[in-house]
Every structure is written in C-alpha cells, then in structure tokens.
Amino acid sequence: MIELHHLTKRYGDKLAVDDLSFRIPEGVVTGFLGPNGAGKSTTMRMILDLDHPTSGEVTIGGKHYAEIQDPLRRIGALLEAKAVHPGRTAYDHLLWLAQSNRVPRARVDEVLDLVGLTAVAKKRARGFSLGMGQRLGIASALLADPQTLMFDEPVNGLDPEGILWIRNLMKRLASEGRTVFVSSHLMSEMALTADHLVVIGRGRLLADLPMAEFIKRNSRSAVRLRTPHQEQLLNALHGAGLTAEAGPDGAWEVVDGDPVVLGELAAAHGVTLHELSPQQASLEEAFMQMTAESVEYRTGSTDEPAPAPAWGAGWDNRRTGKEN
Ligand SMILES: Nc1ncnc2c1ncn2[C@@H]1O[C@H](COP(=O)(O)OP(=O)(O)OP(=O)(O)O)[C@@H](O)[C@H]1O
C-alpha cells in the first residue's frame, strides 16, 4: 500500500504536484493517468525519494522510502527505461544490481526468463531496442521480488505484442497480491489494464475511482435528435415512456435509445427530424474532457478545446427527465 498525504512539489514558480492525497492498494492494478506535464513522474520520483516534497508526505507500507531497509526488496520501479549503462550486458546489469542488494545470482536468470530476454542476455544494452530496454527495466524492478511495483509509461513505444505482454504481466503481479502502480497518458490502454484509476491534471487530483465505475459513467450510448417541433417530440417520447436530455445546440439525447424505434415514433407523431444520430462517447474522449482544462502543452492541431463527449462532467446538469 502506498499512501500520499497532501503531497506537494514546487519547482520555483511551477506547482508540479498540488496537494495530492490518495491510496494505492494491494492486489489491484492502479492506473495513474494524466496529460503530459500533469505531474505523474514527479509524483513517482517522490514516492522513491528521488525528489523531496515541498510539503506533505508519501509512505510505502507505512514507511518513508528512506526508512526502508533493502528498498529494492520492498519496491521495484521502472522510471527511465534507458537508465542502463550502454556498455553493460543485460546479464551484467542485473548481476550488478543483484550483488549490490544481496539478491541470489540465480534470480538473474529467473527474471531474464520472466521478461523474455534470456536469448540476448549477453548483448550490450546499447544495441537494445526500446522494447528490449523496457523489458530490462522491468527485470530490474522485479529482481528482488518486491511487494510493490511502479511503472512509469511502460508501454511507450512498444509494439502490440509488447503492450499485451506488459498488460498481462501487470495483471498477474496484482493477482499475486502486490501493489501495482502504473502511469500512462492513454485512457484506452488503462481501461484494458487497470482495476482502479487515479487521474491528475496540472498536479491536482481530478478523479480516484474504480475503473468499472469510470467506464459505467462514461461509455453510455445515446441517440441525438434534432427537430423544429420540440414540444411534439418531447410529448411523443413521454408517451412512449422515454426521457430525453437537452444536448448541445438545442438537440435532445435519448440515452440507450434505439434509432429505429425513435425514427418510427417521430414519424408516427408527424415530427420532422433534422437529425437522428447514434452517439457513442469513447473513454478517451471522457478523459480528454476531464483533463481539458489542465493540458499544459498543445500542438497546433489540438489547439481547439478537447472534443466534448455527448456527456461529460456536466452530464447530470443537462438531465431533464427522470433517469431511465
Ligand atoms: N526538475 C524540474 N525542474 C523544473 N520543473 C520540472 C522539473 N521536473 C518536472 N517539472 C515540471 O513539472 C511539471 C510536471 O512534470 P512531470 O514530468 O512530473 O509530468 P508528467 O505527468 O510525468 O508528464 P509526462 O507525461 O510528459 O512525462 C511539468 O510542468 C514539468 O515541466
């Protein structure tokens, strides 16, 4: 269990981490999500005591990192995949780590096998691809068989096979009862990996909830209806036991509606429709909406506000009928 209490980090004028408090429990994969510059890496560095909080604190199993004896046995981390001496072989890198942390030599072969690097164990790290570098970083994190694991953007730059491998590894580690904390800026990836979700933007906590809850709230489908005959449409819907929500631009949205049924209903009541369109908000859109205010860097092409999903933070405010 990792616990953050009002964790704050300031670099000069820049508030990189702003009063973060949350817990990362055992036995589940906790996804740590935020756009670039949100403060994810800074938070992870503070957990490992590589950076000192301006205020607040963070503990691992109730202790500060600096108080932990044999920290590699308690927490393993992949922060910077290329943090390996380029002239060292994968085997020598792991052996050096094992010997300096009183880990038996036999464990080096075990973790090389676990991450699929046995065949290239005697190759120097400078010739490693990004994926091999990530696997070596993960082998280092797993070397002392720690109870807590932390991975900063582990799927960055990996091919689909590598992504699937990391995803399954995280799940397996969590199922063994470990604490698994993994950062990403991709909601779609986290939706497939994490059981719990912590979202930050500009250093602040935006959400801390089970992934299933996030998906339930943000992946509903709806049908958008637009008509010059609003009153007749609402009456027809009401008569059919359906509720509509006022959508953007004067359109109406029927959550979980069937476009065929709604089209027939409108026709039967002589309601002219100018639009009848099924909508499906993606989780990525919901995440972008949640963090839209806190995106630090934008390219020209994404300079527009993040696309609004059919429903987002203000979804409940637009509700007009009773929940169906
Ligand atoms: N050593 C530092 N000195 C000054 N500012 C820093 C330092 N480290 C990070 N920052 C700033 O703190 C903010 C948070 O950065 P951080 O790297 O933690 O974000 P992140 O969520 O990990 O982003 P990314 O996904 O781009 O890695 C950014 O604005 C960054 O520029």
For the chain, the domains span 2-216, 221-280
Which residue ranges have their beta carbon within 6 Å of ligand 1? Answer: 11, 14, 16, 34, 36-42, 185, 296
- The CB-based long-range contact list for 290-294 (8 Å cut-off, 24+ gap) reads 290/199, 290/201, 290/206, 290/207, 291/34, 291/35, 291/38, 291/199, 291/201, 291/206, 293/201, 293/202, 294/34, 294/35, 294/38, 294/201, 294/202, 294/204, 294/206
Ligand 1 centroid to residue 41 C-alpha, Å: 7
Of 191, 245, 218, whose CA–CA distance to 313 is shortest?
218
What are the tens digits of pLDDT across the range 128-160? 888 888 889 999 999 999 999 999 988 887 888
Higher pLDDT, 286 or 254: 254
Rounded to the nearest integer, the mean pLDDT of the chain is 85
CATH code of domain 2-216: 3.40.50.300
What is the predicted pLDDT for the residue at 81? Answer: 56
Ligand 1 centroid to residue 15 C-alpha, Å: 10
* Shortest-distance atom of ligand 1 to CA 152: 22
Nearest residue (by CA) to ligand 1, atom 6, is 11
The mean pLDDT of 234-247, rounded to a whole number, is 92
Percent of the chain predicted with pLDDT > 90 = 55
| pLDDT at residue 275 tops 80 | yes
| pLDDT at residue 321 tops 50 | no
Task: Report the relative pairing of strands 245-246 and 221-226 from DSSP bridges.
Answer: unpaired
Higher pLDDT, 122 or 179: 179
Higher pLDDT, 308 or 71: 71
The mean pLDDT of 10-29, rounded to a whole number, is 95
| pLDDT at residue 51 tops 90 | yes
| pLDDT at residue 177 tops 60 | yes
Nearest residue (by CA) to ligand 1, atom 4, is 11
* Shortest-distance atom of ligand 1 to CA 43: 18
CA pair distance 229, 273, nearest whole angstrom: 8
221-280 fold: Alpha-Beta Plaits (3.30.70)
Ligand 1 centroid to residue 198 C-alpha, Å: 17
Q: Is the separation of the CB atoms in 9 and 53 below 8 Å?
A: yes
What is the predicted pLDDT for the residue at 8? Answer: 97
Reported confidence tier of residue 229, pLDDT bands at 50, 70, 90: very high
Of 90, 53, 70, whose CA–CA distance to 148 is shortest?
70
Mutate which of 9, 11, 206, 291 for ligand 1? The one with the most ligand atoms within 8 Å of its CB, which is 11
Specify the DSSP element, H or E, that contains 242: none
Higher pLDDT, 323 or 221: 221
Most confident of 6-10, 103-107, 305-309: 6-10
What is the predicted pLDDT for the residue at 149? Answer: 96
The answer to ipTM > 0.90 is: yes
Reported confidence tier of residue 205, pLDDT bands at 50, 70, 90: very high
Reported confidence tier of residue 91, pLDDT bands at 50, 70, 90: very high
| pLDDT at residue 162 tops 50 | yes
